[in-house]
Amino acid sequence: MDEAVKTARMSAELHVPATLGALGDIAALVLRLAGSAGLGKGASYRIRLAVDELATNIVMHGYRGGDGRITVRGRSGPGRVQISIEDRAPAFDPVQGRLPPEPHTAPERRRIGGLGIHLALTSVDEFDYVRRDGRNISTLTVMAEGTDPCPPRP
Amino acid sequence: MPLSVSLSIEGDTTVIELEGELDAKTAPDFHQTIEKAAGHGTSTVEIRMAGVGYMASAGLRSLVFAQQKVGEHVTIKVVGAIEPVARTIRTAGLDRSVVLSDD
């Protein structure tokens, strides 16, 4: 059955307090953009997971539970979503802060911190980070599956 | 989306059933139930996840916490996880300590 997926270009911007309570609003925005880009379930899940992990990291470790704001900007085109996440917490490059899993370590001794960043970076097709004007800016891109080689495997 | 968590005993198995989304906001509810499950002393803790449509790394932390709480002699089974959730568990290498099962 040939089902044409309607896609639309869309851009959106969201300013939220850096709290766990804001994660739902961020996810809703990301999923809306993914829908307008015509991403399938798998690619939509990947972009949501990546943005969620980076936002959670900003809340928990960037601002360390203190006051702060997160700005999420996104745009979608056919088969492609790009999201940027900005914060004013201390400089943090996710690529440098990535900690790969330790599958051979016993669970009781396993370090679990940093895995969220690893998950985020292995879920996207492109990732870029810059520190500019006192802001961390991470930009993530996910493409519809089948339009590009598979994302990097861990 | 909230997470609903239920706990029951079936023979020698403690069953935790999750439904909803497991992320940094909802994981504390799961942790509370894990604490209760650890007190039951069964040989298996079965975590039914078919109703979990989304899991972030906070869910991985919960699984590690669960293994630490119940001890290494207790088997933790994760049952019915959808593919992206199972992939997240495999990415973290946790499929070496918990048993991933379709049913």
* pLDDT tens-place string over residues B11-58: 999 999 999 999 999 999 999 999 998 888 899 999 999 999 999 999
Name the 3-class secondary structure at A121: helix
ipTM of this predicted structure: 0.90
First to last CA, chain B: 25
Looking at the predicted structure, is the pLDDT value of residue A120 above 80?
A: yes
Instruction: Tell me what pLDDT residue B97 has.
Output: 86
CA B5 to the chain's CA centroid: 10
pLDDT tens digit string along A57-112?
999 999 987 899 999 999 999 999 999 999 999 999 999 877 776 666 665 565 55
Instruction: Tell me what pLDDT residue A113 has.
Output: 62
CB B68 within 8 A of CB B41: no
Select the residue from A108, A111, A123, A124 to test the B interface by mutation, using most B Cβ atoms within 10 A: A108
Instruction: Tell me what pLDDT residue A2 has.
Output: 38
Looking at the predicted structure, is the pLDDT value of residue A119 above 70?
A: yes
Cβ A118–B91 below 8 Å, yes or no? yes
Which among A3, A6, A9 is positioned nearest to A81, based on CA atoms?
Answer: A9
Residues of A in contact with B2 (CB under 8 A): none
Structure pTM? Answer: 0.89
Nearest CB to B88 within list A59, A107, A119: A119
Select the residue from B52, B65, B91 to test the A interface by mutation, using most A Cβ atoms within 10 A: B91
Residue-averaged pLDDT of chain B? 92
Instruction: Tell me what pLDDT residue A1 has.
Output: 38
Give the C-alpha distances (Å, rounded to integers) separating A122 from A51, A53, A78, B6: 12, 11, 22, 32
Amino acid, res. A28: A
pLDDT tens digit string along A31-57?
999 999 999 999 999 999 999 999 999
